[in-house]
Amino acid sequence: MYRNLEECIIDLEKHGHLVRIREEVDPHLEMAAIHLKVYEAGGPALLFENVKGTKFRAVSNLFGTLERSKFMFRDTLDEVKNVIALRSDPMKALKNPLKHIQTGLAAGKALPLKKSSSLPVAAQEINISDLPLIQHWPMDGGAFITLPQVYSEDVDKPGIMNSNLGMYRVQLNGNDYALNHEIGLHYQIHRGIGVHQEKATRQGQPLKVSIFVGGPPAHTLSAVMPLPEGMSELTFAGLLGGRRFRYSYIDGYCISNDADFVITGELHPGESRPEGPFGDHLGYYSLVHSFPVMKVHKVYAKPNAIWPLTVVGRPPQEDTVFGELIHEITGDGIKQEIPGVKEVHAVDAAGVHPLLFAIGSERYTPYQQEKQPTELLTLANRILGTGQLSLAKYLFITAEEKKPLDSHDITDFLTYILERLDLHRDLHFQTNTTIDTLDYSGTGLNRGSKVVFAAYGEPKRELCTEVPDVFQHLRGFENPQLVMPGIVAIQGEQFASYENARQEMQGLSETIQSRGSIASCPMIILCDDSLYLSATVRNFLWITFTRSNPSHDIYGVNSYYENKHWACDNLIIDARIKPHHAPPLEVDPQVEKNIERFFVKGASLAGVKI
């Protein structure tokens, strides 16, 4: 177990999981570019010992591989899994109490410990401008904290056991922020801090917020854990870290005693500032929008404090490993939360929230000869009404029957669904609803639509394994490419408007109809570059599901409505870039050239290929 971040770094270095970079590194784009290269190569954690413009060191890529992440929690991981399992199914302990004695002892580390002495983090007061001000992508609006632990309390029920700890990005400078006095706090919908701020605003009072940075890695992970209802993030931090979360209060603000840095301040009712742009985990910039502004009270730093960071962008990135580690810890938790659901996979390659795959049960009508989705539709509504899963746009759900399914086997899972999908029955839309704040495919911030593909029963078609002749020589469309069985990508002209797109789709539908049925190809993807989209499954997932809004961008061959239910013979998804989309992330070529000095022979990172 680690009492602080420094102990973790020493341990990682001792076991070959970390390298030190002693040469001066510019926090403006260079640090992020180095991190991206090293992460992509599966390389070590990086300790930047000489960050330009600050006296503080910085560390990145701590969680860069699942192996390293599990190594950091090797002493507690199994017991944490057991506690989570018991929280989901307490009958296990009653059935075999002796077996779970050790789990109970481990859970004793979960209760936070209030201490009025030994506050290393309060050793010095500093300014925001003293911190490593790291800009990650060229168009970012300023420097951001990318691994913050943002703490707030319920004003109606104050105290640490009713607190919320979340990882919400924090903009430190730029835009209209008064340096050292104001910072931006961006949180998305369905977040606990939003509930706290709403209550404080209703009472006409500011919400006190503490931002912890650094500390034991268990504290960082706890800020992103999707915990069972009633389990505090801070109790989980103690459980995973094998050491009770130590805290104090200064000026009415909660202080994490073991953090490297703490920023305290207030969110005042009705006050906001433009925040962003920020290169985000969907692989695009999230644009400038008004978000709460935090009036800075004090900034603390422990002696020899270390600033942890990560870089997000088009997946996979380090936050992908967070997802893998969370899955490792929570295991079958979804089965207890939504009975009947066996597996839910938030597809990382599509940016997590845009696309869900799910395996459920189909038990409602076993007496009917024709097998069709029934229970699956109930489960789909439960999934889309549960926490962060509710932000999904596309949900593909089916049930196992004659063979086991793995929702992480993308091609096999989609093939299974497309073979069984009845396009006249199995598509179910929700329009004018909420989607991910970071997703710009919809009609506005947090606004878009959803569609459920629920398929079950005997196969209805044999999927094409090469491009059908129908797709050759289509007027206005070219370069048809097979993506995977049953899915063909075609290239169209640049998107102009939705009115124009409807006319294009009508013409495409009529042309395909005139050439005969293509039942073997249930899904057609219209894109800007069909060769690129079809080159890899990851390209297909990223482009198709981050660049389309189901209600606006799904069309069909011979489509029609029957009692408000939409149906078609073949599905067409328009995944072209639209004018309202956020720009994709692109690296700065000059920065890429500058960082080559770290990867030449004899440099600290010579073992990492670029």
- Separation CA 59–CA 304 (nearest Å): 13
Is CATH 3.40.1670.10 what the domain over 319-454 is classified as, yes or no? Answer: yes
* Topology agreement, domain 319-454 and domain 469-574: yes
pLDDT greater than 80 at residue 262: yes
Count Cβ atoms within 10 A of the Cβ of residue 415 and give its class: 0-12 exposed, 13-18 middle, 19 or more buried: middle
Count Cβ atoms within 10 A of the Cβ of residue 368 and give its class: 0-12 exposed, 13-18 middle, 19 or more buried: exposed
Task: Please name the residue that has the structure tokens 């989607």.
Answer: 435
pLDDT digits (tens, 9 = 90+) for 171-191: 999 999 999 999 999 987 667
Q: Are strands 570-574 and 523-527 parallel, antiparallel or unpaired?
A: parallel
pLDDT greater than 90 at residue 303: yes
288-292, 401-405, 480-484, 556-560: the lowest-pLDDT one: 401-405
Fold classification of 5-72+111-309 is: Pnp Oxidase; Chain A (2.30.110)
Structure-block tokens of residue 199: 């209550």
Q: Which residue has the higher pLDDT, 301 or 388?
A: 301
What pLDDT is recorded for position 229? 58
pLDDT digits (tens, 9 = 90+) for 450-478: 999 999 999 999 999 999 999 999 999 99
pLDDT digits (tens, 9 = 90+) for 8-66: 999 999 999 999 999 999 999 999 999 999 999 999 999 999 999 999 999 999 999 99
pLDDT greater than 60 at residue 94: no
What pLDDT is recorded for position 101? 43
Ranges of each domain in the chain? 5-72+111-309, 319-454, 469-574
322-331, 404-413, 505-514, 521-530: the lowest-pLDDT one: 322-331
Cα→Cα distances 493→441, 522, 581, Å: 19, 22, 17
Segments in 41-178 forming alpha helices (H): 66-72, 77-88, 91-95, 101-107
CA 454 to chain centre: 24
pLDDT digits (tens, 9 = 90+) for 139-168: 999 999 999 999 999 999 999 988 999 999
What pLDDT is recorded for position 233? 92
First to last CA, the chain: 34
pLDDT digits (tens, 9 = 90+) for 418-447: 999 999 999 999 999 989 888 999 988 889
pLDDT greater than 60 at residue 388: yes
Its CATH class, for the domain covering 469-574, is: alpha beta
Count Cβ atoms within 10 A of the Cβ of residue 157 and give its class: 0-12 exposed, 13-18 middle, 19 or more buried: exposed
Residues counted in the chain? 610
Give helix 410-420 / helix 537-546 axis angle, nearest 10°.
60
What pLDDT is recorded for position 104? 53
What pLDDT is recorded for position 93? 40
